[in-house]
Amino acid sequence: MKVAMIVSEMEPFAKTGGLADVAGALPRALGKLGIEVHALLPRYSCVKEKGARISAGPGVTVHFIEHEGYFNRRALYGESNGDYPDNLERFSFFCRQALERLKSDGIRPDLVHAHDWQAALSVVYLSTQLKADPFFAKARSVFTIHNLAYQGLFPKDQYPRLGLGQELFNINGLEFYDQVNLLKGGLVFAGAITTVSPAYAQEIQTEEQGERLEGVLRMRSKDLVGILNGIDQEIWNPAGDSHLPHRYDHRDLRGKGKNKAALQKEVGLPVDPKAFLIGMVSRLAAQKGLDLVVQALPRLAKLGAQLVVLGSGDRAIEESLTRASSQFPTIRLRVAFDSALAHRIYAGADAFLMPSRYEPCGLGQMIAMRYGTPAIVRSTGGLADTVAEDPSGGNGFCFQSIDAGAMVEAVERALRAWRRPAQWGKLRERGMRSDFSWDRSAKEYLGLYERLVG
């Protein structure tokens, strides 16, 4: 089977977030299953590789779509003053050229898999302009939503630049409250729709989390499936992690305690094995529940818990956490993107906190459990799919309400369990033995592809 993966960013070539991690890992996992994957993405200025196509592992070829004016820029989608105003033109060009590249190179795909709004037009063009093209006659399509909040909205006067007929600009097509909505095009025209966790697939069909597209998603509910993202278990492996001063595994956790002491020293916290150390690696945004953390800081400090936060984002949240760092000696904030420190937080913390308002999938909780660090999460999206609180068989701690008090109560339950070494040890082991690999996810995608292709 040949799969064309059309995506706007891909690790290690270009990255702004989790989409790149998925696009980097999923093709390799599919390649292991015998799928021939052709990934197509723009050649941004950050892409250092030479040539129009390169091999990216067994069964995986990456093709770069070039345009000096559209893609040779400082950033992928926009800069500090906002998104690039010609993003509709940039990514409609990318989608058209990705399909043309397949045809010119004689790569006849059995399936086109497009990701997020930047690639959504590829399935629109496949289902409209190219519907009668014999080259694509047998091609089926999948569209994946990584975060429904980002939809590719543009003024309606830009619609003619897409090269589509005016008959598609209506409530059953790309029109959305008198704007152009590229993501909606993917939802309407794709053969199947996936998103990044089973719970999120249900949540986005509700008014609360549907971002005004819940009606479209409910109409296509039979074609919508949630497939949980995976993590690279070779990169995220405490037994072989070069970023850690002390390595360990589920059979011998002595190195974890040593990593805790090293982390406390590194971030300027009192080195105290009896202090309950909570870690966070997160974008500093209200979506991630950081405002709840700010509200709860006095209560967390009263519990004697230590907190180390790594991330950047909303200026007001950064300032609140910075003030707290000076007020409470048990709170430390690093405003940065520091991959090595992130590894050490996953390994050195006793517990990992993710109080997200919504979380399509979430990777932090999976990584934390891989490092023997039970997660404390709000039950939403992928967090609800991966973390369960059960004294006899759970792997973490959960709360339901978007409320600082409910979060603190979950922390208190975790603290009580941590003080019982036998219970905590079983909790850690269950998390470390969990299968969050891309191999599992790739098998689910392969099953979907086979159903579509027949």
Largest CA distance in the chain: 69
Q: How far apart are CA 85 and CA 70, in angstroms?
A: 11
- With 90 as the cut, is the pLDDT of residue 132 above it? yes
How high is the pLDDT of residue 148? 97
How high is the pLDDT of residue 45? 95
How high is the pLDDT of residue 80? 80
> In the numeric block, which tokens belong to residue 167?
């008959």
- With 90 as the cut, is the pLDDT of residue 255 above it? yes
Nearest alpha-carbon partner for 439 in 41, 37, 28: 28
Contact predicate 40/71, CB 8 Å: no
Most confident range (mean pLDDT) of 49-58, 102-111, 430-439 is: 102-111
How high is the pLDDT of residue 313? 86
> In the numeric block, which tokens belong to residue 42?
């723009």
Q: How far apart are CA 67 and CA 451, in angstroms?
A: 36
Q: Band the pLDDT of 356: cuts 50, 70, 90.
A: very high
Contact predicate 39/452, CB 8 Å: no
pLDDT digits (tens, 9 = 90+) for 376-408: 999 999 999 999 999 888 999 999 999 999 999
- With 90 as the cut, is the pLDDT of residue 28 above it? yes
CATH superfamily of 2-230+439-453: Glycogen Phosphorylase B; (3.40.50.2000)
Please report how many Cα atoms fall inside a 13 Å half-sphere around the Cα of residue 133, on the Cβ side.
16
Q: Band the pLDDT of 160: cuts 50, 70, 90.
A: very high
Q: What is the mean pLDDT of the chain?
A: 95
Overall average pLDDT of the 407-425 stretch = 96
> In the numeric block, which tokens belong to residue 229?
């993202």
- Per-residue 3-state assignment (H helix, E strand, C coil) for 272-330: CCCCCEEEEECCECHHHCHHHHHHHHHHHHHHCCEEEEEECECHHHHHHHHHHHHHCCC
DSSP secondary structure letters along 391-453? TTT--EEEE-SS-HHHHHHHHHHHHHHHTSHHHHHHHHHHHHH---BHHHHHHHHHHHHHHHH
How high is the pLDDT of residue 393? 85
Q: Which of 38-42, 133-137, 322-326, 430-434 has the lowest mean pLDDT?
A: 322-326
Nearest alpha-carbon partner for 199 in 335, 398, 332: 398
Q: Band the pLDDT of 447: cuts 50, 70, 90.
A: very high
3-state secondary structure of 202: helix
Q: Band the pLDDT of 194: cuts 50, 70, 90.
A: very high
Which 8-state DSSP code applies to residue 10?
A: B
Overall average pLDDT of the 84-101 stretch = 98
For the chain, give every residue range classified as CATH 3.40.50.2000: 2-230+439-453, 254-434
How high is the pLDDT of residue 391? 80
Q: Band the pLDDT of 6: cuts 50, 70, 90.
A: very high
How high is the pLDDT of residue 206? 98
- With 90 as the cut, is the pLDDT of residue 314 above it? no
Q: How many residues does the chain have?
A: 454
Contact predicate 175/108, CB 8 Å: no
Q: How far apart are CA 265 and CA 273, in angstroms?
A: 12
How high is the pLDDT of residue 234? 87
Backbone φ and ψ for 176, nearest 5 degrees, come out as -150, 100
- With 90 as the cut, is the pLDDT of residue 17 above it? no
- CATH class of the structural domain 254-434: alpha beta
- What letters, b where the CB count within 10 A reaches 16 and e where it falls short, cover 324-334? bbeebebbbbb
Other Cβ atoms within 10 Å of 420 Cβ, number: 11
